[in-house]
Amino acid sequence: MKNKIDQLFETKEKDILSIFFTAGYPNLNDTGKILNELQKNDVDLIEIGIPYSDPLADGPVIQHASQIAIENGMNLTLLFKQLSELKESIHTPIIMMGYLNSVLQFGLEKFYEQCYMNSVSGVILPDLPIDEFEKEHAYFANKFNIKVVFLITPRTSLERIKYIDKISTGFIYVVSSNSITGNSHSNFDDLNNFYATFKQIPIKNKTLIGFGIRDHQSYNDACKISNGAIIGSAFISSLKNRINISHFIDSIKQPQHISI
C-alpha cells in the first residue's frame, strides 16, 4: 500500500498545512477529538508529539504540554492504543514526532511495526543521528513503509543537505531559524537566501518549514518558498486558551486576527 505522505504530495504540492499537537494534552483522551477536528478542517498533515521529559528542541509551550501530558499518564503504549481505535476514521497522514530515547525504550522494531499497524505514515526524531538511522532504523522503516523525516537549518552545509535528500523519501523539515520551537519570529530573508542556495543542487524531496510559524502571514511567507508549513506551539497555545480548532485553522488559511 502506498504511503499516505506520498499520496498527499502526488495530489498537492503547494500550501501544505501540517499541525502539531502533543498526545495527552490538554487531556489524556483528547487525541481522537483533536485528530477528527483537524481532519474535518482539511489539515493536510498531522504531527503527534510523543511526550518527553527533556525535549531539547522544543520551546516552553511544547515543554509545558509534554509535562502536562506525562502527568496525565500519556505514554507510547497508550498512544498506539488510542490510534488503533481511530485508524478506520482518520485518513489524513499522521506523523509521530518525538525523541530517540522514547523509541528505544519502547523497542525499535516494535515501534515501527506499531506505526504501521496504526496507520502512522512517518516519524520525526530530531536527535536521531544519520549513521544510526542507516545502521539501525532504515531496515525497519523500509520494512513497515514508514517515512523518517530529517531536519535541516539555514546553517546546514550543502553536503549534509545533499546526503539528507539522498536518504529521505518523505519530505525534509526545514527549521526556520537556529532556535527552538515557538520562537516569536522567523527570518524569511535568511530563509529566502537559504532556499535560493540549496535549490541549485537541486533536491528531490518536498520541504516544509517549521519553528516560528504561528499565523496567516508566517504561513503564507513559508508557502511562497517551500511546499508548506508546520505549526506547533501556536496551535498548542490555542488549545490551552480553548480557542475553537476550526476558528484557529481558518485564521491560518485566511488573513484575520486571532489572539492566542
pLDDT tens track for 233-260: 999 999 999 999 999 999 999 876 544 4
Tell me which residue range forms the domain holding 157.
Answer: 4-10+17-253
Residue 105, domain member (yes or no)? yes
Instruction: Write the CA distances from 187 to 143, 175, 231, integer angstroms.
Output: 39, 11, 16
Residue 169, domain member (yes or no)? yes
Residue 258, domain member (yes or no)? no
Residue 126, domain member (yes or no)? yes
How confident is the model at residue 133, as a pLDDT? 98
Residue 221, domain member (yes or no)? yes
Residue 260, domain member (yes or no)? no
- Read off the CATH number of the domain in which 165 is found: 3.20.20.70
pLDDT tens track for 101-127: 999 999 999 999 999 999 999 999 999
- Residue numbers annotated as active site: 47, 58
Q: Is the pLDDT of residue 20 over 70?
A: yes
Overall number of domains in the chain: 1
Nearest Cα neighbor of 107 from 136, 135, 67, 134 is 136
How confident is the model at residue 54, as a pLDDT? 74
Using CA of residue 49, residue 110, residue 100, residue 148, what is the dihedral sign? negative
Model pTM above 0.75 = yes
